[in-house]
A and B are shown apart, each in its own frame.
Chain A
Amino acid sequence: MAVMRPTLEVGIIGYGAYVPRYRLPASEVNRIWHDGEDAEPITEKAVPGPDEDTVTMSIEAARNALARAAVDPADLGAVWVGSESHPYAVKPTSAIVAEAIGAVPLALGADWQFACKAGTEALQAAVALVGSGMGRYALAIGMDTAQGRPGDALEYTAAAGGAGYIVGAGDESVALLEGSSSRISDMPDFWRRPGAPYPEHAGRFTGDPAYFEHVEAASWGLMQALGYGASDLDYAVFHQPNRRFPQRAALDLGFTREQIAPGMLVDRIGNAYAGSSLLGLSAVLDVARPGQRILHVSFGSGAGSDAFVWHVTERITARRDAAPRTEDYVRRRKEIDYATYARYRGKLQR
């Protein structure tokens, strides 16, 4: 369907970001593998500390989302975590997160997988659960600690971070869902087989047809169905694998640099995979004014896109400061060199 809407009106009632503290400058990857002569796709990327993973990062994002939503965690009907870096192959991240935030025992829990689209897929499911009346609230998280093979082009950008969203009734929302649109097709652009530590990618598919085809078609379809042109929307947030892709998608769709700037984090934190577009959205919600509209579009390899239009309500002003802003995490910054990065990411062991 070109546009999807749940039976009941729903929206975001709380959201929470998380970005780890450490930063690996692209110049360090360049120095080690390319004699400093490569073109650097971003300035630096966020790296998890040695005691962080998708579970611990999801717990902090979930606590921030709960602080803003101000609801009893026992009322969460689902805790869903989308990631391509779940710490266990078999043992749900979602159950550990639910236990840590007090959402047990009466809840759904599952880990979602669709490369960088896993988080927005969980968000779509949360919208459906609450919008059908099956659950009062649902928590959807997109979080990753992405890795690139040493020396691979992805090592510059594969980063860590994400955000959690609590979906609830429209009249409790800080941002109402006006509609969404999702597209998928089979695409050989990026994959990882079981047991392989690092993903493979096929460069000739990555931009066209994978990223641009899905992101732009999902955006056009949703905007047309809702009757919006680019100038009717105040902000646009796209999945951010590098600086260039979201900038070109924005241009193709008629958005200005000003419309995408508040949600563009890739240059300072890298590509947080399943957390990327959800962190961009949280950064926009941190600054948006009541009445403004946000186009929010994910992309996951393999491949597909979820596009949403969110309409910010007056509740945003009272809820926003109940938890740290995205920018608080982005500015909390400890630069590390390649050797420390290699140790923190388990590439070196004593």
Chain B
Amino acid sequence: MSGPSQWRRRQQRLSLTGEICPQCSARLFPPRDVCPHCGGPARIPYALGGRGTVYSFSRIMSAPEGYEAGAPYYVALVALDEGPLVTAQLTDVDPEAVSIGMPVEMVTRLMKRDGDRGLIDYSFKFRPVLERMAG
């Protein structure tokens, strides 16, 4: 992803910011300015909570250019609690542990480095929900 493209989509990619439809209250991600549910304009930014479940997943053995260092890794369709389906990498997860329906949460992680001199690209990924021990 190029510097200008990263920059234009920085809030979407760093903090999972989508949109909310003022007519039907649907939450949209990625932001598209037109509500796919009611067809009305939807331009109000909305920060999604980042919780969801794995809807489907795939293991990437042969990664696209620039992502080879992380392979093999998982890419999942994540069903967010607010409704949208998001495609994202999974992280902090062991191969045997990924399953459909697994609860996950959004984290901001490093996607790729443009060589030794270029920009570092950060975006959202999902990890298994951090286990909380009751105090």
Contact = CB atoms under 8 A, between A and B. Distances in A.
Given A51-B109, A96-B122, A349-B69, A327 B15 contact: no
A321 interface: yes
Contacts of B135: 286-287, 320-321, 325
B14 interface: yes
A229 interface: no
B134 to A, nearest CB: 8
B92 A350 contact: no
B11 A99 contact: yes
A59 interface: yes
Nearest to A88: B120
- Which applies to chain B's interface (DSSP): helix, strand, loop or mixed? mixed
Contacts of A327: 133
Given A100-B14, A101-B15, A52 B133 contact: no
A53 interface: yes
A73 to B, nearest CB: 10
Interface stretch (B25-33, B34-42, B80-88, B124-132): B124-132
Contacts of B92: 21, 49
A47 interface: no
Contacts of B122: 55-56, 96, 100
Interface string B80-114: 00000000000110100000000000011111000
Contacts, number: 66
Interface residues of B, number: 24
Contacts of B68: 350
A53 B113 CA distance: 12
B131 A56 contact: no
B69 A99 contact: no
B133 A328 contact: yes
A194 interface: no
Given A60-B107, A96-B14, A324-B132, A50 B70 contact: yes
18 contacts: A49-B91, A51-B91, A51-B109, A51-B110, A51-B125, A52-B110, A53-B110, A53-B120, A56-B107, A59-B108, A60-B107, A99-B10, A286-B135, A320-B135, A327-B133, A328-B132, A329-B130, A349-B69
